[in-house]
Amino acid sequence: MRAVVQHGTGGPEVLKVEERPEPVRGEGEVLIRVEAISVPFYETQLRSGMLPGGEPAVFGHEAAGVVVEADDEQLVGRRAVSMSYVGGAYAEFVAASQYTLVPEQMSAENAVAAAVPAAVAVALVRTAEIVDGETVLVEAASGSIGGYLTRLAKDAGARVVATAGRGKAAADVVLDHNDPDWRAKAPDGINVVFESIGGPRAAELVPKLAPRGRILAYGLLSGEFPVITVADLISRGLTLIGFGGPDAYGKDVAAARGEALGLVADGTLTPVIDRTYALEDAAEAHARVESREGVGKVLLVP
């Protein structure tokens, strides 16, 4: 089968298409003939070496397609979306133990565009326990997770303040993500911050929060953890919640995946796809994601 293999860390050019043996599924796994692959931003950080991750035999973590082998024969022919922590998604076939069946009539492209980011958004909103009338700040709202967070927070009755490049966000207040002083321009009285940027400037939002406000830190777009101290939090009764790692993704996000796909199927959430590339153009797809010029998901199609 054709697959994308990572050769060292560095720019997009370290991703090369090669012939690799078709994976052999283990007990409890399904073998999926891949129809669409997601290219999330964190994979560009793994490829570059900004985040630790090693060099998997086959790159990639999120794929959707048709089940061709399974312990349960009734699964064969069903469409499923998979999430793997060990790689293997940038290929014509993937063996998966973590998978979710896709609602009937939903395309592989929409399924893989929504399955992980929409499930993350659902799990984050559950964790935040948003109350009707609260003000919520969504960072990077033109990204895939941020877009879903914006919609779900509004559905929960929140007033949404969002940051987005060139104003690309469906929020009540939009701050220019490219303005270095956007934090100073954020309104006062924010109840919930969905923090996806990180870095030392994250603390600049603390004075903007209402007493008993919550910060949910789930992303590292800057490549650094948010620098927020207990001293920043304690005097105003603020809560900082870290959302990540195997516990959050292996449990909370996995449990929300079916609900997220259901919200797509009933039209509550709409996947936004920026561009689709052939498997051989994986390097170009990574360059597109790193440019941050698009809106929505970048996909690969074998």
Q: Parallel, antiparallel, or unpaired: how do β-strands 30-38 and 159-164 relate? A: unpaired
CB 136 within 8 A of CB 159: yes
Q: Model's pTM, two decimal places? A: 0.85
Q: Taking each helix axis as running N to C, give the angle between helix 144-155 and helix 108-128, from 0 to 180 degrees, rounded to the nearest 10.
A: 50
d(CA 300, CA 36): 6
d(CA 174, CA 166): 9
pLDDT of the chain, 302 residues: tens digit per residue: 999 999 999 999 999 999 999 999 999 999 999 999 999 988 999 999 888 877 778 999 999 999 999 999 999 999 999 988 889 999 999 999 989 999 988 999 999 999 989 999 999 999 999 999 999 999 988 888 998 999 999 999 999 999 987 656 789 999 998 899 999 999 999 999 999 988 899 999 999 999 999 999 998 877 788 899 899 999 889 999 998 877 777 778 888 998 999 999 999 999 989 999 999 999 999 999 998 887 789 999 99
d(CA 13, CA 287): 9
